[in-house]
């Protein structure tokens, strides 16, 4: 039943007084106008169809408003039924009357804003339907950076805007706000904090996803990106990194009762790009020769010679029709006779399959004079490219709006998600990851030999891994080493607005972001890291409640100045609890219960509680709708800071000057605007850093002494931002330009600094560090072709950010931000940037040539050196959309230039001779390295020493040589392609129950140009809660997607 009030007239009487209106909306510029919003008495009636037509029912005498972005709204009153009504909209001379949802959900006209924003509509999010909707923003928002670990189907995403402000790895995430409710985008670690996890007793990181991945794009109306502190300052301590304001869909009146939309989406994905594997040489070290002096292979000791089958390298004999004693799967050992020496070219690629995602969505909406409702239900099933991995997700959304009286309005939105998975893949360089198996798989090994998983009669006791007990069977990894998930999450709010008078109203809103998640990680017997099995349970419960009150007053000061003032407050209460139970060693194989452990289960519990109370105010001035000035102020009181510093105040000012109204400009300039803003935002820190707290120990009844020295006097971080921008509309709206320059400073960084261990501590919490970000953002919109039947719309985005570390702690010149496995590290140095990668490289002569030692191998350097920066020099996107009658075709190119990425996979596969570039020198049996040798007198001579190829590649691409395993991270991707057909209204009219229907074919990440030799330069390492850019540490293959979408509207 639709929302009604006691004052609502009798339904039958109301219907008898309604009149039906049909017609077409056009304009001189666009011809017929699809998407024109039609409202009456504050209630949405719908929008015009693709051919500009509409059909509505309204009460007699009702005033109907036709609105479209960039055009003056038109009001018409209808006293009787009318057909073929011709509605003509006139372009608004100010061009930017678009309403934008800003901080705290306040709606403002775009032209009044003194800071940069971008709005992405629902269509842009669903054109290519990624599993994580955040990926749909790539290439569409200037200044936005997405970092993902490439770790599986849920693929957590870190969203940042305008660079890294903080030296804390997890302190640069943009705030996500869903329907006015701030929500968590953080990850909760599976308990493993190092992506380099190879070795006994080490588990593997698992990407269980973060909250933003569960937002259903079909329910999103729009996303407004508030790019800097000036735009997001009213959100307080979490606004320093900007914000994404997500507004979900609400109900609207339909001509024929309840409107129903059914959407089905089916997509398939496979591997986008493979490394260049070599299949010319097989397993071996290149140093084993038989009695005849020929290279040979022998799985075990044989008549040909000693065992050569224990190495993971592929420098063995060339595949040339010869026969050797090899592994025989029927014997689970060495063959009795020599077998053909041959490559198995599908022995890595064949493990993966074509994955798919099937999503079905149904939405119902409708409304009366005083309210509206929308409900939707979405089910997604994903089978990922790795066997036995994927997820199911059920999402429900409800939106209700009700006018209780002329003064009181109530609204509520709730989004509920249940996500389940029997298995999500582990990630990183570890025995238990498929990436690790791919690295160690040899060209002469058939993947089919592993499929039985367990040795005959030894099920769940002895796996089949015939070449090394250090390399786990890939099918055991996929089907036995499972990581299951059962997640329930809810984001919802209730709001009431009371209008005391046309000038004064009060809004009260309370919202909750709640997550309950159960995880289980199972490891069977006879694995490299856990010979007697392992089992872990994790339970995570997290919620945050935000309650806001906002009192708004509007007044006209004289005849030219309009004033809008708001004062309000926020109460934020956050609670987090994670409980882990672990047994290392199982009594009964394959029985995964904490009670089945060899010893007592080790139980640990982590809490993280926080409260923040806030007061804020906003004053917005408008002078003749030509000059706009906004002032904001906010004060936060945070429980995570020392009491004497728990209160921090920060203001902002922004202004907008409509130059096209203030000055006479050339006729080619339809609209011009200047923006200026400055803001300051404070940030608190994690809980429990102001006092000494003892930790939990693995042993029952005991604790651990903290190794980090607390601080009772540190201050909040402060980010100060300055921004200027220009907006132009040229040639009557055919070209639009938005240019922004900005500069941000973040000081008082709250960091953990290394200290002298003789103090009893290894680190101390201090205010230390100052970082500057400055950059340029450009957005260009164009309408190159704009005929009635054929249109071409184009958007270009481009951004460049420059980051610099201005200061660290007194007496410190550098600070390690992140590191993995003793190889590549991100180190902040004064004068450097927050994304600088350091590690060992080559020793070079003054002329830059590689220096070799007397053995003919690259010399070892004494110290780490700067290798490059993890972040791109600039990023850009190029979106084009063509529409011809009922057809629509669009494509998006997304590119990134500059930056580097270190690849652990490249290191190991090059060292082992498994990539094509390692074929050089094998035919001759030696390599002479291109470089020089340092002589005793300090001079250099050309290197002429011949070395074995296996030795050369092993030294040149050794694990610690970050330089030789780092590559340009630039890329250009065909990110999205979509071809859509909307059934014409004339055809739909024959089936009276259809209001619209469309079918579309689409693709995502269909092609890529890059010099990165491995899977994809868009990757990062997953280190605990942090996604570490610039470092690839056992990457899973990235995918390309092709799909079909069908939408029916009733």
Summarize pLDDT for 231-255 with one digit per residue, the tens. 777 887 787 888 999 999 988 765 5
Count of structural domains within the chain = 2
Q: Are 721 and 789 members of one domain?
A: yes
As a whole number, mean pLDDT of residues 537-555 equals 95
* Residue 34's CATH number: 2.60.40.10
Whether residue 919 lies inside any domain: the answer is no
Q: Residue 310 in 3-state DSSP?
A: coil
The model's pTM: 0.87
Whether residue 1011 lies inside any domain: the answer is yes
Q: Are 69 and 195 members of one domain?
A: no
pLDDT of residue 822: 58
Q: Are 663 and 792 members of one domain?
A: yes
Q: Are 59 and 202 members of one domain?
A: no
Q: Tokens 């030219």 map to which residue?
A: 560
Summarize pLDDT for 523-533 with one digit per residue, the tens. 999 998 899 99
For 52, 158, 214, 268, 359, the CA distances from 217, given in Å and listed in that order, are 26, 18, 9, 18, 11
Whether residue 504 lies inside any domain: the answer is yes
**CA-CA distance, 808 to 5, in Å (whole number)?**
62
pLDDT of residue 924: 92
Q: Are 143 and 85 members of one domain?
A: no
Summarize pLDDT for 620-654 with one digit per residue, the tens. 999 999 999 999 999 999 998 898 989 999 899 99
Contacts of 543 (CB under 8 A, 6+ apart): 512, 513, 514, 515, 574, 575
Q: Are 75 and 148 members of one domain?
A: no
As a whole number, mean pLDDT of residues 671-699 equals 85
pLDDT of residue 324: 97
Q: Is residue 832 classed exposed, middle or buried when 0-12, 13-18 and 19+ CB atoms within 10 A define those classes? A: middle
Looking from the CA of 899 toward its CB, the CA atoms found within 13 Å total 29
As a whole number, mean pLDDT of residues 34-55 equals 81
pLDDT of residue 186: 78
> Does the pLDDT of residue 187 top 80, yes or no?
no
Q: Are 583 and 506 members of one domain?
A: yes
Whether residue 475 lies inside any domain: the answer is no
**CA-CA distance, 945 to 928, in Å (whole number)?**
6
How do strand 371-383 and strand 355-368 relate by DSSP bridges? Answer: antiparallel
Whether residue 913 lies inside any domain: the answer is no
Q: Tokens 């921008």 map to which residue?
A: 725
As a whole number, mean pLDDT of residues 37-55 equals 81
As a whole number, mean pLDDT of residues 52-68 equals 87
As a whole number, mean pLDDT of residues 977-989 equals 85
pLDDT of residue 253: 63
Q: Are 589 and 677 members of one domain?
A: yes
pLDDT of residue 698: 61
pLDDT of residue 7: 40
Phi, psi of 126 (to 5 degrees): -110, 5
pLDDT band at 919 (very low <50, low <70, confident <90, very high): very high
As a whole number, mean pLDDT of residues 376-394 equals 96
pLDDT band at 16 (very low <50, low <70, confident <90, very high): very low
What is the number of other CB atoms lying within 10 angstroms of the CB of residue 525? 21
Q: Are 555 and 697 members of one domain?
A: yes
Summarize pLDDT for 361-377 with one digit per residue, the tens. 999 998 887 888 999 99
Whether residue 927 lies inside any domain: the answer is no
Domain boundary among 27, 57, 91: 91
Q: Tokens 């000791």 map to which residue?
A: 301
* Residue 736's CATH number: 2.40.170.20
Q: Are 85 and 145 members of one domain?
A: no
pLDDT of residue 400: 94
As a whole number, mean pLDDT of residues 132-152 equals 89
pLDDT of residue 200: 55
Q: Are 167 and 81 members of one domain?
A: no
- Token digits of residue 339: 């077998």
Which of the 8 DSSP states describes residue 273?
Answer: -
Q: Is residue 508 classed exposed, middle or buried when 0-12, 13-18 and 19+ CB atoms within 10 A define those classes? A: middle
Position with higher pLDDT, 810 vs 566? 566
Domain boundary among 32, 64, 91: 91
Summarize pLDDT for 1002-1025 with one digit per residue, the tens. 999 999 999 999 999 998 888 777
As a whole number, mean pLDDT of residues 58-72 equals 82
Q: Are 53 and 144 members of one domain?
A: no
Summarize pLDDT for 806-830 with one digit per residue, the tens. 998 888 888 887 776 658 888 899 9
Summarize pLDDT for 260-316 with one digit per residue, the tens. 999 999 999 999 999 999 999 999 999 999 999 999 999 999 999 999 998 999 999
Q: Report the mean per-residue pLDDT for the chain.
A: 89
pLDDT band at 72 (very low <50, low <70, confident <90, very high): confident
Domain assignment of residue 681, given as a range: 133-271+355-432+481-835+870-899+970-1049
Domain boundary among 91, 123, 148: 91
As a whole number, mean pLDDT of residues 955-972 equals 95
Contacts of 730 (CB under 8 A, 6+ apart): 668, 669, 670, 736, 737
pLDDT of residue 13: 41
As a whole number, mean pLDDT of residues 53-60 equals 88
Q: Residue 743 in 3-state DSSP?
A: strand
For 132, 265, 1005, 1038, the CA distances from 216, given in Å and listed in that order, are 9, 13, 20, 22
Summarize pLDDT for 456-494 with one digit per residue, the tens. 999 999 999 998 888 899 999 999 999 999 999 999 999
């Amino acid at each position: 039943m639709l929302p009604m009030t006691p004052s609502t007239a009798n339904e039958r009487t109301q219907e008898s007084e309604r009149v039906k209106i049909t017609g077409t909306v056009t304009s001189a510029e666009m011809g017929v106008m699809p998407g024109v919003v039609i409202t009456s008495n504050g209630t949405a009636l719908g929008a015009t169809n693709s051919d500009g037509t509409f059909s509505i029912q309204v009460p007699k005498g009702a005033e109907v408003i036709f609105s479209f972005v960039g055009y003056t709204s038109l009001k018409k009153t209808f006293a009787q039924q009318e057909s073929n009504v011709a509605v003509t909209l006139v372009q608004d001379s100010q061009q930017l009357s678009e309403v934008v949802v800003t901080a705290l959900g306040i709606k403002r006209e775009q032209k009044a804003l003194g800071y940069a924003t971008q709005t992405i509509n629902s269509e842009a999010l669903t054109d290519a339907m990624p599993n994580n909707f955040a990926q749909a923003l790539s290439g569409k928002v200037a200044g936005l950076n997405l970092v993902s670990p490439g770790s599986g189907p849920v693929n957590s995403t870190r969203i940042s805007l305008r660079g890294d402000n903080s030296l804390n790895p997890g302190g640069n995430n943009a705030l996500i706000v869903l329907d006015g409710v701030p929500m968590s985008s953080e990850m909760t670690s599976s308990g493993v904090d190092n992506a380099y996890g190879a070795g006994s007793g080490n588990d593997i990181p698992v990407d269980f996803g973060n909250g933003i991945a569960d937002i259903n794009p079909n329910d999103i109306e729009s996303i407004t990106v508030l790019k800097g502190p000036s735009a997001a300052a009213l959100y307080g301590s979490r606004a320093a990194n900007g914000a994404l304001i997500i507004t979900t869909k609400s109900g609207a009146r339909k001509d024929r009762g309840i409107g129903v939309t059914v959407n089905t989406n089916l997509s398939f994905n496979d591997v986008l790009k493979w490394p260049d594997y070599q299949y010319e040489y097989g397993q071996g070290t290149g140093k084993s020769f038989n009695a005849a002096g020929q290279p040979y292979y022998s799985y075990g000791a044989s008549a040909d010679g000693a065992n050569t089958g224990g190495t993971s390298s592929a420098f063995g004999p060339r595949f040339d029709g010869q026969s050797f004693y090899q592994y025989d799967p029927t014997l689970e050992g060495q063959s009795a006779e020599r077998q053909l020496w041959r490559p198995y070219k599908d022995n890595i690629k064949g493990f993966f399959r074509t994955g798919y995602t099937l999503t079905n969505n149904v939405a119902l909406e409708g409304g009366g004079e005083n309210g509206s409702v929308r409900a939707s239900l979405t089910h997604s099933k994903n089978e990922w490219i790795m066997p036995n991995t994927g997820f199911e997700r059920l999402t429900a959304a409800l939106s209700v709006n009700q006018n209780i009286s002329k003064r009181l309005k109530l609204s509520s939105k709730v989004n509920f998600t249940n996500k389940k998975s029997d298995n999500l893949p582990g990630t990183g360089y570890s025995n238990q990851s498929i990436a690790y198996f791919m690295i160690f798989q040899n060209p002469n090994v058939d993947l089919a030999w592993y499929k039985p998983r367990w040795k005959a009669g030894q099920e769940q006791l002895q796996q089949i891994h015939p070449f090394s007990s250090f390399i786990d069977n890939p099918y055991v990894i996929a089907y036995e080493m499972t990581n299951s998930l059962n997640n329930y999450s809810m984001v919802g709010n209730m709001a009431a607005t009371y209008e005391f008078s046309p000038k004064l109203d009060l809004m009260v809103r309370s919202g909750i972001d709640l997550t309950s998640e159960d995880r289980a990680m199972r490891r069977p017997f006879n694995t490299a890291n856990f010979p007697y099995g392992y089992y872990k349970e994790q339970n995570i419960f997290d919620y945050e409640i935000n309650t806001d009150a906002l009192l708004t007053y509007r007044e006209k000061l004289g005849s030219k100045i309009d004033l809008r003032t708001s004062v309000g407050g926020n109460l934020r209460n956050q609670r987090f609890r994670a409980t882990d139970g672990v047994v290392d060693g199982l009594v009964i194989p394959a029985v995964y219960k904490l009670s089945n452990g060899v010893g007592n289960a080790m139980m640990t519990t982590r809490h993280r509680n926080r409260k923040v109370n806030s007061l804020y105010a906003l004053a917005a001035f408008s002078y003749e709708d030509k000059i706009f000035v906004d002032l904001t102020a906010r004060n936060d009181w945070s429980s995570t800071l020392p009491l004497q510093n728990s209160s921090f105040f920060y203001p902002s000012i922004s202004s907008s000057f409509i130059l096209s109204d203030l000055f006479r400009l050339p006729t080619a300039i339809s609209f011009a605007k200047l923006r200026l803003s400055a803001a300051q935002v404070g940030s608190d820190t994690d809980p429990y850093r102001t006092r000494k707290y003892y930790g939990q120990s693995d042993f029952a009844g005991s604790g651990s002494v903290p190794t980090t020295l607390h601080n009772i006097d540190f201050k909040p971080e402060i980010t100060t931002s300055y921004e200027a921008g220009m907006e132009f509309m040229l040639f009557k709206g055919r070209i639009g330009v938005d240019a922004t320059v900005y500069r941000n400073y973040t000081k008082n960084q709250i960091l953990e600094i290394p200290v002298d261990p003789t103090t009893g501590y290894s680190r101390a919490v201090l205010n230390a560090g100052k970082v500057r970000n400055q950059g340029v953002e450009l957005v260009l919109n164009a309408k190159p072709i704009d005929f009635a039947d054929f249109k071409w719309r184009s958007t270009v985005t481009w951004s460049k950010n420059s980051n610099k570390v201005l200061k660290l702690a007194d007496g410190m010149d550098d600070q390690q931000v992140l590191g993995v496995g003793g190889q590549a590290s991100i180190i902040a140095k004064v004068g450097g940037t927050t994304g600088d990668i350091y590690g060992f490289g080559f020793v070079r002569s003054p002329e830059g040539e590689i220096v070799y030692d007397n053995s003919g191998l690259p010399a070892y350097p004494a110290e780490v050196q700067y290798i490059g920066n993890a972040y791109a020099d600039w990023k850009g996107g190029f979106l084009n959309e063509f529409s011809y009658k009922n057809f629509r075709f669009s494509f998006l190119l997304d590119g990134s230039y500059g930056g580097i990425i270190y690849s652990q996979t490249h290191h190991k596969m090059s060292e082992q001779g498994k990539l094509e570039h390692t074929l050089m020198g094998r035919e001759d049996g030696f390599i002479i390295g291109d470089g020089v040798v340092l002589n005793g007198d300090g001079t250099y001579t050309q290197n002429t020493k011949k070395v074995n190829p296996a030795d050369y590649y092993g030294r040149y691409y050794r694990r610690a040589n970050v330089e030789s395993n780092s590559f340009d991270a630039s890329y250009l991707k065909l990110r999205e392609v979509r071809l859509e057909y909307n059934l014409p209204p004339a055809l739909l009219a024959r089936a009276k129950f259809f209001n619209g229907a469309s079918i579309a074919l689409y693709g995502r990440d269909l092609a890529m140009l890059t010099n990165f030799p491995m899977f994809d330069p868009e990757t990062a390492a997953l280190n605990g809660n942090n996604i570490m850019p610039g470092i690839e540490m056992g990457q899973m293959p990235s995918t390309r997607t092709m799909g079909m979408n069908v939408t029916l509207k009733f």
